[in-house]
Amino acid sequence: MRLKFPQFLVALVIIGALALGGCSTQQAVSPSSPAATASSTATETSGSTSTEATSVSQTTSESIPGMKDLPRLEGQATVVMTVKGSPITIELDGTNAPITAGNFVDLVQKGVYDGTAFHRVVRDPQPFVAQGGDPQSKDPAVPANRLGTGSFIDPDTKKVRYIPLEIKPKGAAEPLYNKTFDASSQAVVLPHKQGVIAMARSQQPDSASSQFYFALADLSFLDGNYAVFGKVTEGFDVVNKIQQGDRIDSAKVTKGAENLKVPGK
């Protein structure tokens, strides 16, 4: 289901304040919206994306601070997420999004998502996203207006783990990092098709942590701005029934766990 141009404009008006990613308490930035995304993309993209973003071949250095310490998924993995007793099977693509998929698998294995809530579900006026993954939402005492602002805090470092924006253009040998780009002129390998899973973030490109969203429709206007890292292969009917406040019973890696590479382990 692809948003047609008039529907897209209506969606922007209605959800102009919608955040695809909440900023953490350490970031003094407002969550981004599709409208803000379109504006920032226009100002950030000029010329070749290869000169604006860092490729994975550079990530062994500190050109992206902390990159070498992040988990990576080298290949594929499968996660089964259970919501209200019903399973959702998610195939994760570590070939085209190794850092983003690796981060998600690592957090699943740590139990970060178990018991968390979907704090933002938008279906009107057009199907949009079901967003969850805020660790704060495990605690029912946390006010609803704070949900969407939380991130994963690494118990070892006591600091928030952020991952860089990671998007692979078609024809590229490796993903690009750190910058958004205009996907209308350079298509992406992992587009926002109905049923994909992607990382939420604030206005800062490298601010994703634990929050994710399922795309409830084709959302091509988000391509080049948010990192898709997998897709629902079974149970999209369950995703379509998610209501705001519904909780994840559990999330488990059922295949491909051996493909996760965690530095120092």
pLDDT > 70? residue 188: yes
pLDDT tens sequence across 218-258: 999 999 999 999 999 999 999 999 999 999 999 999 999 99
pLDDT > 70? residue 265: yes
Q: What is the pLDDT of residue 78?
A: 98
Q: What is the pLDDT of residue 64?
A: 66
CA proximity to 23, closest of 203, 212, 239 = 203
pLDDT > 80? residue 30: no
Query: What is the chain's mean pLDDT, rounded?
Result: 82
User: What is the average pLDDT across 105-118?
Assistant: 98
pLDDT > 90? residue 37: no
pLDDT tier at 57, thresholds 50, 70, 90: very low
Choose the CATH number for 5-261 among 2.10.109.10, 3.40.50.1240, 2.40.100.10, 3.40.50.1460: 2.40.100.10
pLDDT tier at 84, thresholds 50, 70, 90: very high
SS3 string, the chain, reads: CECCHHHHHHHHHHCCCCCCCCCCCCCCCCECCHHHHHHHHHHHCCCCHHHCCEEHHHCCCCCCCCHHHCCEECCEEEEEEEECCEEEEEEEECCCCHHHHHHHHHHHHCCCCCCCEEEEECCCCCCCEEEECCHHHHCCCCCHHHCCCCCCECCCCCCECCECCEECECCCCCCEECCCCCCCCCCECCCCCCCEEEECCECCCCCECCCEEEECCECHHHCCCCCEEEEEEECHHHHHHCCCCCEEEEEEEEECHHHEECCCC
Q: Among 29-38, 77-86, 251-260, name the one with the lowest average pLDDT.
A: 29-38
Are 184 and 225 within 8 A, CB to CB? no
Q: What is the dihedral of CA 253, 259, 263, 264, to 10 degrees?
A: 80
